[in-house]
Chain A
């Protein structure tokens, strides 16, 4: 899932200040799972903004709507019927959602209401962790299902560094040392010999070598 957190209310108010008719657009997918931009959060933010506007004596219309998926064109199209009513959209989608709305309605200002964080997991209620960088060449097999690129603070493919103490990372003792997790996993899997191998430098061309990436699947196209 893509995780995100809501921007500070003051920052949002500053960005929407020039506009009088604002549609707050939530997203029912990842950002709903991480309680940042789902239906509930969208309703709450819209209500907070309306109250703040009222307190400051500002004449504004703030309404809300939540799409199932803000990053998928066929869902974004649902805005067609309502978008003309507003002079700006405040998007509670991830960065992809914001851009997908902006791309569809080039003449409408689309303002981000979230800070998009990372691809991660829901570990517990209110607790999300980063687990994937989207490198384009998954190596999890070699590392027992723990990604050192995403979870080691120094992205070491041949770790751990000298700062691993009691299974904790030197950057922050709240962070488990990814390499300790890898060693523990490989031991359980009886595959400790994988640690002896020198993993060569990562091929970053698969992530950033030719600019922004795209996937084209002809078998999926009509």
Chain B
């Protein structure tokens, strides 16, 4: 039991799950990862480790997950299909399971043109939905693509991402359904600032029975400043930040803006907890891991449940 995914145990126990994010460093220093881990330990059930996010070369997600695992956290291995073909992806799935990593989040990945290697070939051999299905078949069927059997299948809790704010809205629920049918056990969403739109999306998912089949964790990101809010709204595609929120951030003095960002984040979590089909929250405090403890405590989600007893 102790070997299983903590995230899975928390969700199966019916608790409101808390996950956070840890971006690996642009360098080979393991201490950077371990320092981030120290800030998150005890406050979250699992920690997502991003995979060369925004197509910028960083320490590998798999290696950073292994470091987090050793430090006593439950890592969620983020894997993008941008950089690896189906041979490499399946190989890394087996390797991750062998290292005791128990959660994977299957993603398309930001396009290589956004990062620091714009001349790289984008692989995209599988898409994220196909990748979810491949991992599910490896785990449940003990087979790789093409049907060959595995001596020991990987043991992984499978996640996928959803963006309730991308267009077109009606198709967003269809795509969520495809991810769940492909085998996603849990879904982490894009950062939620526009709760009305999120609820409209969730209602579509609920009507189609998707929320019973996978655990939806709402994504939140604390804002550091009105500038950050404007940047995300204008420059990050698939991001929906209402103007009222930007005004609210502008309305507080500079030295209080980070506190306000945390306050907004806590309020969002409180509203998400009132929605029955939201099973947890995914806190993406970008290069601001110390905010996670404040947010989790502020939202009354500390201490985390002791699932070893469960």
Contacts and interface: CB of A to CB of B under 8 A. Distances in A.
B42 interface: no
Q: Shortest 7 CB-CB distances between A and B: which pairs?
A: A162-B163, A170-B237, A158-B129, A163-B237, A162-B238, A156-B127, A155-B124
B9 interface: no
Interface string A131-162: 00000000000000000000001111111111
Contact of B124 (A156, A195, A198): A156
B127 A159 contact: yes
19 contacts: A155-B124, A156-B124, A156-B128, A157-B127, A157-B130, A158-B127, A159-B175, A161-B166, A162-B108, A162-B163, A162-B190, A164-B238, A180-B168, A183-B168, A198-B181, A198-B182, A201-B126, A201-B134, A201-B145
Interface in B89-144: 108-109, 111, 113, 122, 124-130, 133-134
B161 interface: yes
B126 to A, nearest CB: 5
Nearest to B134: A201
A200 B130 contact: yes
A198 B129 contact: yes
Contacts of A161: 108, 128, 166
A44 to B, nearest CB: 31
Interface of A: 153-167, 170-171, 177, 179-180, 183, 195-196, 198-202, 204
Q: Which of the listed residues A154, A155, A162, A195 has the most CB atoms from chain B within 10 Å of its own CB?
A: A162
Contacts of B122: 153-155
B68 to A, nearest CB: 25
Contacts of A204: 125
Contacts of B167: 160, 164-167, 177, 180
Given A154-B127, A158-B130, A180-B168, 11 more contacts: A154-B111, A158-B178, A161-B108, A164-B167, A164-B237, A183-B171, A196-B174, A196-B178, A198-B181, A200-B130, A204-B125
Interface in B157-171: 161-163, 165-168, 171
